[in-house]
Structure 1
């Protein structure tokens, strides 16, 4: 079995990638916590994140959850591999309002070909807004 990457190496890589990501910056996501197998992404939801009812758009919560599960999984990948989300399931539990929102992603199972991660999306008071599960396919890193 191939030894995995040094934990700090993958964690540092996730930090660097998120810091350099125009997508995360444009969306307003900030990395709040990263460790091996876990990531917290924060968003200060503003008017640009709200739907016509004045609550946080479900797609915003899904994007946060997808990003948190994927980044958490990236911290445990073997060298020379990457991943893609092949299934994302989200259960919305209550409407989110403008303000602080955090998606807490964590790896549940790491496999050679697929992995499984979960995320809880909470508001600034810790109220659970949504829960997500993600199935991720592990593939060779493109050359």
Structure 2
């Protein structure tokens, strides 16, 4: 495991909400991050589709990891926008984010969220966001 992967895994595993929702850091590299989620009943809304908040969480976290790694450290989302393309019906979701541009303190990233269904993998949402580098104060 590389230093980048170890750093990302440490941060990912320290997020209580991430553990609660059941997400997994599938892949991380110098400018990208993939986050997966096995869909359970509590992830769905009243029509049986995966709740939009779950898709939004995946986009936000994948964007931030892709941007944070590209910026070389800890990061936060400054803003992001999500477009829901089609309902997510499948049993597994994959958020694939990549950095499309970066400066010293911020990165712009894009993310696609795919839903694996019986008929194949389908694009269900796309997002774009600005990620900022942060310095965590010492205790």
Q: TM-score, normalised by structure 1?
A: 0.85
Deviation at 1:76, TM superposition (A): 2.1
Q: Equivalent residue for 2:103?
A: 111
Check conservation: 2:114, 2:123, Cα contact below 8 A.
Answer: yes
Is 1:96 the counterpart of 2:91 in the alignment?
no
- Shift in alpha-carbon separation, 1:43–1:26, aligned structure 2, 3 A: same
Following TM superposition, the consecutive aligned residue runs of length 4 or more in structure 1 with deviations greater than 3 angstroms are none
Alignment coverage as a number of residue pairs: 134
| Cα deviation code 1:98-128 (max 9, x no counterpart) | 4100000111111113210111000123210
Is 1:66 the counterpart of 2:60 in the alignment?
yes
Check conservation: 2:32, 2:99, Cα contact below 8 A.
Answer: yes
Question: Structure 2 regions of 5+ residues with no counterpart?
Answer: none
Q: Equivalent residue for 1:86?
A: 78
Is 1:37 the counterpart of 2:31 in the alignment?
yes
Q: Equivalent residue for 1:141?
A: 136
* Distance in 1, Cα, partners of 2:85 & 2:133: 30
* Distance in 2, Cα, partners of 1:17 & 1:113: 19
Question: Structure 1 regions of 5+ residues with no counterpart?
Answer: 1-7
Is 1:128 the counterpart of 2:136 in the alignment?
no
Deviation at 1:56, TM superposition (A): 0.6
Deviation at 1:46, TM superposition (A): 1.2
Find the partner of 1:77 among 71, 74, 77. 71
| Cα deviation code 1:35-90 (max 9, x no counterpart) | 11111111011110111111011111000000001011121224xx5322121100
- Shift in alpha-carbon separation, 1:82–1:34, aligned structure 2, 3 A: closer
